[in-house]
Structure 1
Amino acid sequence: MSMKMTKQERSWVLYDVGNSAFVMLSTALIPVYFATLAEPGSSVVVAWGYAETVASLVLALLMPVLGSLADLKGNKKKFLIGFIGTGAVACAALGIPTHALAFLVVYVISSVMLNGSMVFYDAFLVDATTEDRYDLVSSNGYAWGYIGSCIPFVACLAVVLGGPAVGIDMGVGMKIAFLITAAWWVAFSVPVIRNVHQTHYKPRQPRLMRATFRGLAATMRSIARDRRILLFMLAYFFYIDGVHTIIKMSTSYGTELGIDAVQLVLALLVTQFVAFPSAIAYGRLSTRFGTRRMLLVAVGAYFCITLFAAFFLRSAFEFWVLAICVGLFQGGIQALSRSEFGKIIPKEHANEYFGFFDIFGKYAAVMGTFLVSLFTQLTGNPSAGVLSIAVLFVVGFVLMAKVPAGVYEDGPAR
């Protein structure tokens, strides 16, 4: 199999470069900025966790229906453009609110649009390449997304952290950072919009909404009947919970422990550099050892990472160790989950299936962020919140180990 990518594959990969800039900003700098807007004495972890919970819940409710509509001929790209455009505008507008609640409302909108666009983007994988190259292309998407996002993020850091030296306070610096990120996101969306076209689709039908809901019901029955898809999605539900929670809550958790904001941001930047070669390596290792086996390795590693965070993370040094360990497995577990799912679903229903796939991921994120916020609030100890999600990696590992081996040639029957 050639390691060289086609124009369509490269165009698809570049969208990961574009959207990852906002993912990086929302992971590292936005929670720090939100802490400056929050009321003195309020818990940043609790407020941020509940905001992420709302965003995930809204997305999980919307995407199955929108995904089904996007499977119709010519719709996938229209939905992708709509979500990118709305999300970029909301991202740029994050610099306007000066009150914590108003800021969270705009953030939830931008987060829903970002993650919604990712569902349509993931579904475009089946149009951008062939099944035997899913692991390779998906891994390259995450890898180049990690390294590419560092460019606008470093520019944002220079403005936010270096701004005071030239008279630019943090508020103005963050406004500039939001604009830089939105522009980067839009610019790297152009290739996938221009060069990747929907080749797998459902024919248009009369009584559109009725047909849409009937299609969703058929997909749900198909998932329930197919043991491989059902077990895979259940396993994904549990282990991706921990992954998303660690991504979304790491900076807030570090802030709660009193770790310096600069140390937090720089450590997360190192995560991106470590994740770049690691994600590519994971894609290549999967062709030798199998996708499921590599997923099991990553889930086991994340369980150990969670224990380390709960029991040993107390200083900036431990946060750096944690950031490097996360970088080794983050891209691999996300990329191979996406590509493996793409292999076992009907290609003409990709958006519909990825919509349900996203439900499992987003409801897991609802549970993870909620558990962290709840246990932190009840115990007054952020470590208890982190420890509460460790068991989910165990459940995910056990379920993934039970997924039947083998790949369907034509996807599951509907």
Structure 2
Amino acid sequence: MGKTTIQEKSWIMYDWANSAYSITIMTAILPIYYKITSSQAGLELNISTAYWAYANTIATLIISIMAPLLGTLGDYKGNKKRLFLSFWGVGVVFTAMLSIVTISRWHILVLFYILSMIGFAGANIFYDAFLVDVTSKNRMDKISVVGFAFGYIGSTIPFTLSILIIAFHSKIGILEITSYKIAFVITAIWWGVFSVPLIKNVKQVFYIDIEPNPIKMSVKRLLNTIVHIKENRHIFMFLAAYFFYIDGVSTIIKMAAAYGIDIGLGTGDLLAILLVTQIAAFPFALLYGKLSEIYSSKRMIHVAIYIYIFICIFAYQIDSASEYWVLALLVASSQGGIQALSRSYFGKIIPEKKSNEFFGFYNVFGKFASIMGPLIFGMISQITGKSQNAVFGIVALFITGGVILAKLPAEK
């Protein structure tokens, strides 16, 4: 496959950097901290879980509305890096600012989370689009998968440090609440520092020359792409499939901690399970990359969908830490693989010079999907009074995505 270039390594390093946000802020420590603050405010478990789901819905709705135009603007020469830096800065700053929120202000905590998530998701539009600039089509699966794999390993370092500080807060003379706040600062620093290689070494190779009235022209190009959707039928069919199955994946990521607490898991057990999940995901992500070379990206995405359907069915009946361990390891087996191969499959079927525009659509479909999943989860939890019932809504998302994907050819 050839030697990994400095541009490829620098791109991979950003997965190492921002995955700390994914596990600490989106999945584990912040959701647990939120449950503590909301509980002290008197919110019932299923209601606070529903509110957390709605917060994710609001954040993804905002970035989804912005993503198509952002992606189109990013296709202009030099804009990809500028827009990336803008959203990256917002994400890092508001992640750090989570640490200044007092425990009684759970609603302010939610607001800062929404802003940090907008920064995280917005930066990812341009990070994903940089894939076509740093590598060739025949290396995209490998580089994308390695990025996710190293992201899992990289995220475990600040996450482990944060867990240790929380676990031994009394021994080091700080309050438990303070230990959570330190974890937010650690995450922001990690994300910021390890983003430097991408900022320094990755350049926009494919671009459109700057035109007068770039916003007006960007809207025009965006509408032209939509109007000529039949010319890109295979791209938009994939996006339709992606819309449904990635919704299921992102909902499981965002709701895992809240779900674990609702079924009675202790904080210590939950953090340990999530840490091991991150470590276990590393070899499985690489395995998906190897198998995609033999069986194609599309087929391996289907394998991951089948596994996720089983995960949802299994999740309905769990009521112990041991069963949650099994559930978490099943998620680890496919989470990185399905995300990485979706990104690289898409990168191989889009026009290179319009990579930002199409990755804008990619993120729109992914983010709008992320609105629906948590919303379904929150509504079913709130209406039925039991979070476990929500998994059946998630199963339907995976089945729908898998059916649409089956109609597409394997990538060339």
TM-score class, shorter-chain normalisation, is over 0.9
Aligned to 1:410: none
- 8 Å Cα contact 2:296-2:410 kept in structure 1: no
The CA deviation string for residues 82-140 of structure 1, in whole angstroms up to 9 with x for no partner, is 11112111000001122011110011000110111111000000001111000000000
Does the 8 Å CA contact 2:50/2:378 hold for their aligned counterparts?
yes
Code of the aligned partner of 2:42: P
Residues 367-406 of structure 1: pairs in structure 2 closer than 5 A: 367-406=372-411
Tell me the secondary structure at the aligned position of residue 246 of structure 2: helix
Contact 1:8-1:128 within 8 A present in 2 as well:
yes
Task: Output the amino acid matched with 2:8.
Answer: E
Aligned to 2:338: 333
The CA distance in 1 between the partners of 2:266 and 2:258, in whole Å, is 11
**1:85 corresponds to 2:93:** no
Aligned position for 2:320: 315
Between the aligned partners of 1:165 and 1:313, the Cα distance in structure 2 is 34
The CA deviation at 1:405 is 3.6
Q: Please state how far the C-alpha of 1:227 moved relative to its aligned partner.
A: 2.3
Task: Give the corresponding residue for 1:302.
Answer: 308
1:406 deviates by 4.5
Task: Return the letter of the residue paired with 2:88.
Answer: I
* Displacement of 1:305: 0.6
**8 A contact 2:296–2:411 mirrored in 1:** no
Question: Paired residue for 1:75, among 73, 79, 100?
Answer: 79
Tell whether the 8 Å contact from 1:219 to 1:353 is kept in structure 2 after alignment. no
Q: Which residue of the partner structure matches residue 42 of structure 2?
A: 40
SS at match of 2:240: helix
| Stretch of structure 1 that moved more, 275-284 or 170-179 | 170-179
Corresponding residue number in structure 2 for 1:412: none
Deviation of 1:41 after TM superposition, in Å, equals 3.4
Letter of the structure 2 residue corresponding to residue 50 of structure 1: Y
Hey, what's the Cα distance between the residues in 2 that align with 1:157 and 1:259? 16
Tell me the residue number matched to 1:24.
23
Cα distance in 1, alignment partners of residues 245 and 215 from structure 2: 33
CA gap of 1:318–1:82, structure 2 versus 1, over 3 A, is same
Instruction: Tell me the secondary structure at the aligned position of residue 28 of structure 2.
Output: helix
* Mapped partners of 1:328, 1:84: distance in 2: 29
Determine if the alignment matches structure 1 residue 52 to structure 2 residue 51. Answer: no
- Contact 1:219/1:352 (8 A) holds in 2: no
Tell me the equivalent position of 2:356: 351
Q: Which moved more, 1:222-231 or 1:154-163?
A: 222-231
- Report the Cα distance in structure 2 between the residues aligned to 1:189 and 1:290, rounded to whole angstroms: 31
Shift of 1:25: 0.3
Secondary structure, aligned partner of 1:205:
coil
Query: Which residue in the other structure is 1:191 paired with?
Result: 197
CA distance in 1, matches of 2:302, 2:198: 31
Can you list the C-alpha shifts for 1:200-240, whole angstroms capped at 9, x where unaligned?
01111112221010011122234443221121111100100
Residues 297 and 410, structure 2, Cα contact 8 Å, conserved in 1: no
| Structure 1: gaps (5+ residues) | 408-414
Tell me the equivalent position of 1:284. Answer: 290
Secondary structure of residue in 2 paired with 1:5: coil
Distance 2:146 2:243 in 1: 23
Partner of 2:271: 265
Unaligned runs of 5+ in 2: none
Looking at structure 2, the residues matched to 301 and 224 of structure 1 have their Cα atoms a distance apart, in angstroms, of 32
Letter paired with 2:243: F
Structure 1 counterpart of 2:251, one-letter code: T
TM-score by length of 2: 0.96
Q: Deviations over 1:390-412 (max 9, x none)?
A: 011111111110013453xxxxx
CA contact (8 A) 1:279 1:331 kept: yes
**1:92 aligns to what SS in structure 2?**
helix
Cα distance in 2 between the residues matched to 1:222 and 1:153: 45
Q: Which residue of 2 aligns with 1:177?
A: 183
TM (normalized to structure 1)?
0.96
SS in 2 for 1:155: helix
Secondary structure at the aligned position of 2:169 is classed as helix
- SS of 2:409's equivalent in the other structure is coil
* Structure-2 separation of matches of 1:100 and 1:240: 28
- Quick one: which of 109, 112, 117 aligns to 1:106? 112
Query: How far 1:281 sits from its partner (Å)?
Result: 1.2
Alpha-carbon separation, structure 1, partners of 2:410 and 2:323: 38
Task: Compute the displacement of 1:366 (Å).
Answer: 0.6
Measure the CA separation in 2 of the matches of 1:238 and 1:222: 23
Kindly report the root-mean-square deviation, in angstroms, between the aligned alpha carbons of the 2 structures. Answer: 1.1
Q: Which digits, 9 at most, give the CA deviation of each residue in 1:359-410, with x for residues without a partner? A: 1111111110000100011000111112211011111111110013453xxx
Higher alpha-carbon deviation: 394-403 or 33-42? 33-42
Offset, 1:309? 0.6
Deviation string 1:112-170 (CA, Å, 9 cap, x unpaired) is 10111111000000001111000000000000000110001111111122112222112
User: CA–CA distance in 1 between the matches of 2:410 and 2:4?
Assistant: 28
Runs (4+) of structure 1 exceeding 4 A deviation are none
Per the TM alignment, residue 181 of structure 1 is displaced from its structure 2 partner at its CA by 0.7
The answer as to whether partners of 2:207 and 2:354 remain within 8 angstroms in 1 is yes
What's the counterpart of residue 142 of structure 1? 148
